[in-house]
Amino acid sequence: MYVAVKGGERAIENAQALVAETRRGNPAIPEIAPDQIREQLGLAVDRVMAEGSLYDRDLAALAIKQAQGDLVEAIFLLRAYRTTLPRFAVSEPIDTARMTVRRRVSATYKDIPGGQILGPTYDYTHRLIDFALAAAGEPPVAPQGEAGPDGPVPRVVDILNREGLIECEAEAPEGHEPVDLTRDPLTLPADRDQRLQNLARGDEGFLLALGYSVQRGYGGNHPFAGEIRLGEVAVEIVPEELGFAIEIGEVTVTECQMVNQFAGSKSAPPQFTRGYGLAFGHCERKVMAMSLVDRALRGRELGEDARYPAQDEEFVLAHSDNVESSGFVQHLKLPHYVDFQGELELIRRLRAEHEQRTREAAPGVDGAANRKEAAE
């Protein structure tokens, strides 16, 4: 017999107290502070900010602590808090060409204006566990090099642009207001601004799997990493009382320009196509996957058939959000007693009908068998 779980409000309160105790862990060990998470788990903080759509390192670190390191839960917490914040202005588009670059690499040209800057990267580590990190000690000090590029660093795709070898970025129609997915629901078919917003706050693992599928041939184009850059960009707003832009701060972003297989037609010569990715913080894997999926979703605009999952706009955009997908999957833990009882009664009735049909058919079958035996 199926009965409801007992305990109610008291059981829930006790469960929450147990969560708090479990989160704290052994009291003999010093408690981790949000500023330690912010400074030493920076890549986790960056992912939570990017997919939580809120640039605040302290809040992201606090959310990670509250969620016991469950990044999807931390993203949920940050988004929920975001809905309580007032919006006092809309910023001007950031200019990544004026980025203060900390890392900048290109897989298409060896020598690029401004030079290749490796910056902080795991690309050249041995991926071996460093047991020295388990011992307390003075943090290593990175060697000081020459000063970085003085002034804005030109984009690599601008080299292809000057020769007309890559498609030009399409200008938004006059009067077009970008959709705000944090306030308005997703609509299909989606314009590129809506798609990029969706991908920027989409789950990294989901986008990575789709990007991988594109590379393996389920997307119809071969990608080259034109440029990946990490650095700080200025955020500007235009107050109504001033009428001109003022800088209110800086944010760290990662940008990826992906150069993809070329396209052409009778009216246009062959040229490379673009894929684009940009997100808060240091998250190269995310923006690379984002740029691969962005190019796959642009197939409709370029006259390509949507044959694979990464090219299916509705499939990608409707399933990329980890907060929505996590909520829908985890709601299965909630009581479904009435629904299950209905299914249970239905299958019992179907089984009874099946058994009755079997019994009704049995005499005829037995009789035929007896007649055949008698004839022999």
CA–CA separation, 234 vs 268, rounded Å?
A: 37
Output the pLDDT for position 135: 82
H-helix or E-strand spanning residue 250: strand 246-263
224-237 and 271-280: which strand pairing? unpaired
CA–CA separation, 225 vs 346, rounded Å?
A: 56
What's the pTM value of the predicted model, to 2 decimals? 0.87
CA–CA separation, 202 vs 52, rounded Å?
A: 9
Convert the pLDDT of each residue in 103-124 to its tens digit. Answer: 999 999 988 888 899 999 999 8
The rounded mean pLDDT for the chain is: 88
Q: What is the mean pLDDT of the segment spanning 87-98? A: 91
Q: What is the mean pLDDT of the segment spanning 347-362? A: 92
CA–CA separation, 333 vs 314, rounded Å?
A: 27
Spatial contact of 166 and 273, defined as CB atoms under 8 Å apart: yes
Spatial contact of 313 and 188, defined as CB atoms under 8 Å apart: yes
Spatial neighbors of 190 by CB under 8 A, at least 6 apart, are 179, 198, 313, 317
Q: In what order do the strands lie in the sheet with 246-263?
A: 100-105, 224-237, 246-263, 271-280
Q: What is the mean pLDDT of the segment spanning 273-287? A: 95
Q: What is the mean pLDDT of the segment spanning 139-143? A: 79
pLDDT band of residue 3 (cuts 50, 70, 90) is very low
pLDDT band of residue 150 (cuts 50, 70, 90) is low
Is residue 185 reached through a cis peptide bond, with omega within 30 degrees of 0 on the bond before it?
no
**pLDDT at 125 > cutoff 60:** yes
- CB neighbours of residue 359 within 10 Å: 9
CA 365 to chain centre: 61
% of residues, the chain, pLDDT over 70: 92
CA–CA separation, 276 vs 158, rounded Å?
A: 14
215 sits in the region (left: phi over 0; alpha: psi -120 to 50; else beta) called alpha
Strand partners, 309: none
pLDDT band of residue 169 (cuts 50, 70, 90) is confident
Q: What is the mean pLDDT of the segment spanning 222-226? A: 91
Tokens 């959000």 belong to: 321
Of 262 and 33, more confident = 33
Q: Which range (130-134, 168-172, 264-268) has the least confidence?
A: 264-268
Spatial contact of 336 and 343, defined as CB atoms under 8 Å apart: no
Spatial neighbors of 192 by CB under 8 A, at least 6 apart, are 170, 294, 298
**pLDDT at 26 > cutoff 70:** yes
